[in-house]
Amino acid sequence: MHIKSIKELELGAGDRVFIRCDFNVPLDEYGNITDDRRIRAALPTIRYCLDNDCKVVLASHLGRPKGYDPKYSLKPVAKRLHTLLKQEIIMAQDVVGEDAKSKAKKLQEGGVLLLENLRFEAGETKNDPEFAKELSQFGEFYINDAFGVSHRAHASVEAITRFYDKNHKAAGFLLLKEIKYLYKLLENPTRPFLAIVGGSKVSGKLGALINLLPKVDKMIIGGGMAFTFLKALGEEVGKSLVEDELIDEAKNILDEAAKLGVKLYLPVDFVVAPELSEDAPVKFVTFKEIPKDWMGLDIGLASTRLFREALNDVQTILWNGPMGVFEIDKFARGSIKLANYVAESYATKIIGGGDTASLISKAGVDDEMTFISTGGGASLELLEGKELPGIKALMVEDGQ
Ligand code: AMP
């Protein structure tokens, strides 16, 4: 089985192509886009269709509106697409309503129509086949280029694919790139392979930890989740984030790592504070000296140096989850230092989306990374070894 590429479709002049994009970009309080990476990442597929003189209909969700809400309109996305593509973007006032339909009908070769936020329609998240059928009327070809939602069985991702045969549906370039890096990484990494796993809780990353452990040569565990592991080793962690119910699970992971010969690293020092706040005083302590009423909110200098040593000889690095509360500058230094060390490495460097991607941006080392995933939740599910419904729906037998 393999996933069909957009290049294998016979797209021609005047063909109508429906592209599910992921334009779920962050907006500030004035509705300005603060990071357009996801829009830029979708351009190769859109341009490919335009170069083939297709009529292009774009669809995406933005945020989590429950029904119509102008705050979540895709109008700012249309504006940014216009700037990036340097051509008119026709904006529909609705998703599958009269306005969208009549604008789609009038669409010229090389024209681009953007539908309103898919989540203005309840059928989207319900994977409603009726709504999916209506969406499918916008194109005789269906392209999924929205990796960030491919782990969701939503109408524009899963149900819609039932209305196309194998010659009329495929993955766009961004989705293909995500699959290439993340799947191949898990199947056949160049060794030594190091996974850096961080973030807030063990519970959020447990599936990924278990799936990754037999595949990696080394693993670094940082962020809030490190404290459950330290507690499992009998250390005192003060008020740091700990999931007591997962201490046994943490012990199992430590035992399993030892059995498999995986070199597992935990932080050896921390930046601690009495509370999670910008104004809190901080101390730098080793893992043996976390004060009783303080909590670890970042890894310390000794940990970043230790992790740099562990990075030295690796050929592949996968990073998912920050080492501390990087949203607050005081607790961002450990993650940023590590990001710089990762940037310096000659290894293939794959960054899971979401928080880790924001962290890499904050560190200013985006360009040093081999690949930064656009999907936080989706990349995590892939790392957990789960099958993503949006990708499964586009699989065809080899030779087809
Ligand atoms: P996740 O969504 O599980 O990847 O977690 C990301 C979040 O983990 C970020 O928002 C960080 O602020 C948070 N985080 C990282 N380190 C810690 C820590 N030591 N204590 C509490 N939260 C943390």
Q: 381: CA distance to ligand 1 center in Å? A: 18
What pLDDT is stored for residue 398 in this prediction?
84
Catalytic hit among 201, 263, 308, 362:
201
Q: CA neighbours within 13 Å on the CB side: how many for 41?
A: 25
Residue identifier of the C-alpha nearest atom 21 of ligand 1: 224
pLDDT by residue for the chain (400 residues), tens only, comes to 889 999 999 999 999 999 999 999 999 989 899 989 999 999 999 999 999 999 999 999 999 999 999 999 999 999 999 999 999 999 999 999 999 999 999 999 999 999 999 999 999 999 999 999 999 999 999 999 999 999 999 999 999 999 999 999 999 999 999 999 998 888 899 999 999 999 999 999 999 999 999 999 999 999 999 999 999 999 999 999 999 999 999 999 999 999 999 999 999 999 999 999 999 999 999 999 999 999 999 999 999 999 999 999 999 999 999 999 999 999 999 999 999 999 999 999 999 978 999 999 999 999 999 999 998 899 999 999 999 999 999 998 887 7
Test site for ligand 1: of 287, 325, 358, most ligand atoms within 8 A of the Cβ:
325
Distances (CA, A) of 133 to 136, 222, 307: 5, 45, 51
- Distance, CA of 359 to CA of 352 (rounded, Å): 11
Three-state DSSP class for residue 9: coil
Catalytic hit among 354, 375, 376, 390:
354
What pairing do the DSSP bridges indicate for beta strands 55-59 and 16-20? parallel
pTM: 0.93
Q: Specify whether the CB–CB gap between 49 and 58 falls below 8 A.
A: no
Phi and psi torsions of 43, nearest 5°: -60, -40
What pLDDT is stored for residue 397 in this prediction?
86
List the end-to-end C-alpha distance of the chain, in Å, as a whole number.
Answer: 9
Residue 7 catalytic? Answer: no
Q: 165: CA distance to ligand 1 center in Å? A: 43
Residue identifier of the C-alpha nearest atom 17 of ligand 1: 224
Contact 389 CB / ligand 1 (< 6 Å): no
What pairing do the DSSP bridges indicate for beta strands 55-59 and 112-114? parallel
Reading phi first (left if > 0) and then psi (alpha if -120 to 50, else beta), residue 31 is in left
- Distance, CA of 367 to CA of 127 (rounded, Å): 37
Q: Specify whether the CB–CB gap between 172 and 45 falls below 8 A.
A: yes
Q: CA neighbours within 13 Å on the CB side: how many for 171?
A: 23
Quick one: which of 267, 258, 194 has its CA closest to 230? Answer: 267
What pLDDT is stored for residue 181 in this prediction?
92
Radius of gyration of the chain measured on its C-alpha atoms: 23
- Distance, CA of 91 to CA of 103 (rounded, Å): 9
Q: Specify whether the CB–CB gap between 324 and 363 falls below 8 A.
A: no
What pLDDT is stored for residue 399 in this prediction?
78
Contact 324 CB / ligand 1 (< 6 Å): yes
* CATH code, 2-176: 3.40.50.1260
Q: 325: CA distance to ligand 1 center in Å? A: 5
Residue 12 catalytic? Answer: no
Q: Where exactly are the structural domains of the chain?
A: 2-176, 189-383
What pLDDT is stored for residue 376 in this prediction?
87
**Does the domain made of 189-383 have the CATH classification 3.30.2130.10?**
no
Q: Specify whether the CB–CB gap between 320 and 287 falls below 8 A.
A: no
Q: Specify whether the CB–CB gap between 224 and 240 falls below 8 A.
A: yes
Residue 123 catalytic? Answer: no
For 330-368, b where at least 16 C-beta lie within 10 A, e where not — what string?
bbbbbbbbbbebbbebebbbbbbbbbbbbbbebbebeee
Contact 334 CB / ligand 1 (< 6 Å): no
Instruction: Give me the amino acid identity at 148.
Output: G
Quick one: which of 67, 80, 69 has its CA closest to 37? Answer: 80
Catalytic hit among 16, 38, 55, 239:
38
Quick one: which of 23, 27, 142 has its CA closest to 84? Answer: 23
